[in-house]
Structure 1
């Protein structure tokens, strides 16, 4: 009984560390990308292309589970906004929903037998569906200034980031799981 309690505490500890790592990464990584974009004269467009907040949240879900990653996904845009003003006020609620869903959905797929690349693809689709629904509800039901055209535009602009996620996340999960087994 003592062993199972210790394992449960370790699991909670691991989830907490995973959530904090994802949260910090999802706040710092975009700042690094935006700094590079600013230095290259691209402004914030590099961040819109590479989607740096998404990567640590999806990765956290596949490693730490839905609660840890969902929490990190929910909080990271709020903390980033409080510290940096990004994302913009207009986009903040939609990014909170999208990133929280990435975390929850990837966490729910954590222990499934699907290949990691399919898990990431399913998570990308589900997060964007929730974001699209929120944007449509916001625009048509609540008078949001964010227009529905942004739904497809963000996918088109972010295709490089989407592809990078499909490559980097499965490789990272594999490497981290192998390192844990050694």
Structure 2
């Protein structure tokens, strides 16, 4: 895939990362972003389809652009989400690339779960560092645990939606590093 196509596809994932959360806000449930984690979907897909470096870039830019254009995520959560989503995109792409598992769906699921665990771990670590540096009592690992519990519906959505999309997208030969 040419650099131009990689850039265009990555831009599409970035735009989806801004648009999809806005669509989720039409659901009449409070705090849908924190519960359903819609921004994570496009970033994880970018990592799988475009590779770890594009996943890292799109993961870092998506929450920043969304915050700038829509005010979501709010500024106090933005640095933590930038780090978390950048790690999601990087690790999803990296694991998918380096895991040598012959069964594609197992490889996808394992890469996804590893990306989710590492991303949330880095999120917790960034909260802990901010808590210590800024002497804030409201942040820390408890906030990461609470965010993980609150995000269980979104995690389930990701586990249900992302693997079949990645499997079919890879099988079609449409994306970078496809099996076709």
Counterpart pick for 1:120 among 101, 112, 126 = 112
How far has the Cα of 1:88 moved from its partner?
A: 1.1
The residue correspondences of 1:1-150 to structure 2 (distance < 5 A) are 10-34=1-25, 36-37=26-27, 40=28, 42-43=29-30, 45-111=31-97, 112-114=99-101, 115-144=107-136, 146-148=138-140, 149-150=142-143
Give the Cα–Cα distance (whole angstroms) in 2 for the partners of residues 65 and 176 of structure 1: 13
Larger radius of gyration: 1
How far has the Cα of 1:145 moved from its partner?
A: 6.8
* Match in the other structure for 2:160: 167
Q: CA RMSD in A?
A: 1.7
**Number of residue pairs aligned between Structure 1 and Structure 2:** 168
Counterpart pick for 2:145 among 141, 152, 158 = 152
- The runs of 5 or more residues in structure 1 that have no matched partner are 1-9
* Match in the other structure for 1:179: 172
Residue 97 of structure 1 aligns to a residue in which SS? helix
How far has the Cα of 1:107 moved from its partner?
A: 1.6
How far has the Cα of 1:102 moved from its partner?
A: 0.6
CA contact (8 A) 1:135 1:146 kept: no
Give the Cα–Cα distance (whole angstroms) in 1 for the partners of residues 81 and 64 of structure 2: 9
* Match in the other structure for 1:4: none
CA contact (8 A) 1:14 1:64 kept: no
How far has the Cα of 1:67 moved from its partner?
A: 1.4
CA contact (8 A) 1:90 1:145 kept: no
Deviation readout 1:128-160 (Å, 9 max, x if unpaired): 011110000001122357512221111111101
Give the Cα–Cα distance (whole angstroms) in 2 for the partners of residues 89 and 145 of structure 1: 18
